């Protein structure tokens, strides 16, 4: 479970790494027409109309290759947003409406292999989100509603074997959570209520035989916990009270 919780944290890291570099600049004192300005410390060029950015704005790498392209309407980010790598490949593609991300955002490795695909509505994650391994296979598939994870989230290894199925409500663990062996067999199952472990917890040997069983109450071990060997024999029993072993 610890390894899979680390994978969950990786998904949040991905979002931070792939933050956009919008070409929003202060052009209020510039005359109408094609102008140059600075956005996020980068020189960019585009049309100014009545002190506002208008149409397509772009920034370039040294040597003239396109770095970022973005559309504006009446000073607001509206339309396509593109980031290019130094080899001329699209590395990120998104759409803005009224200064907020809307629609599908794509992030790519060089050559077009996907890294990330996620949907936005009014600046918040909303809809399906997919994260990919470096070689292109799917790592995570989940859904969001108004910026929070909702419903099932599926995790896979690089060969396509399912590692886990998690369930969310309002961004928190809710209901049954499952992990799997690479052969498809169930590895563990555990219930959550509002992000806290609650109820029966089961762990299985790869053969499918029960390995560990116990109960949680409000995120703490409670009652009798039993461990079994690979043949199904009971090998240890521990009683817990308020997450502490009492015998």
The answer on pLDDT for 65 being more than 50 is yes
DSSP state of 61: -
The answer on pLDDT for 12 being more than 50 is no
Q: In the prediction, which pLDDT does 60 show?
A: 95
Please give the CATH topology (third level) of the domain spanning 150-247: Outer Surface Protein A; domain 3 (3.90.930)
pLDDT band at 14 (very low <50, low <70, confident <90, very high): very low
Long-range contacts of 225-234 (CB under 8 A, 24+ apart): 230/205
pLDDT band at 19 (very low <50, low <70, confident <90, very high): low
| Domain boundary assignment for the chain | 1-146, 150-247
Q: What is the pLDDT of residues 224-246, one digit of tens each?
A: 999 999 999 999 999 999 999 99
Find the mean pLDDT for residues 22-50.
Answer: 94
Q: In the prediction, which pLDDT does 10 show?
A: 42
Exposure class string for 7-17: b at 16+ Cβ within 10 A, else e: ebeebeebeee
Q: In the prediction, which pLDDT does 21 show?
A: 72
Q: What is the pLDDT of residues 100-158, one digit of tens each?
A: 999 999 999 987 889 999 999 999 999 999 999 999 999 999 999 999 999 999 999 99
């Amino acid at each position: 479970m610890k390894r899979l919780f680390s994978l969950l944290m990786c998904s949040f890291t991905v979002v931070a790494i792939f933050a956009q570099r919008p070409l929003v600049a202060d052009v209020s004192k510039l005359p109408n027409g094609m102008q140059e300005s600075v956005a996020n410390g980068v020189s960019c060029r585009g049309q100014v109309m009545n002190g506002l950015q208008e149409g397509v704005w772009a920034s370039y790498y040294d040597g003239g290759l396109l770095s970022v392209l973005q559309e504006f309407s009446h000073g607001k980010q509206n339309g396509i947003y593109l980031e290019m790598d130094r080899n001329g490949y699209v590395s990120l593609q998104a759409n803005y409406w009224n200064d907020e991300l809307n629609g599908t955002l794509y992030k790519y490795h060089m050559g077009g292999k996907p890294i990330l695909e996620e949907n936005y509505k009014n600046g918040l994650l909303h809809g399906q989100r997919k994260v990919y391994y470096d070689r292109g296979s799917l790592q995570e598939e989940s859904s969001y509603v108004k910026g929070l994870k909702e419903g099932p989230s599926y995790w896979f290894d690089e060969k396509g074997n399912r590692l886990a199925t998690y369930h969310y409500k309002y961004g928190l663990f809710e209901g049954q959570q499952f992990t799997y062996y690479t052969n498809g067999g169930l590895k563990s199952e555990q219930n959550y209520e509002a992000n806290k472990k609650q109820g029966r917890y089961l762990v299985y040997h790869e053969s499918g035989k029960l390995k560990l069983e116990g109960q949680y109450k409000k995120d703490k071990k409670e009652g009798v916990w039993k461990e079994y060997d690979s043949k199904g024999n009971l090998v240890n029993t521990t009683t817990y009270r308020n997450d502490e072993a009492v015998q």
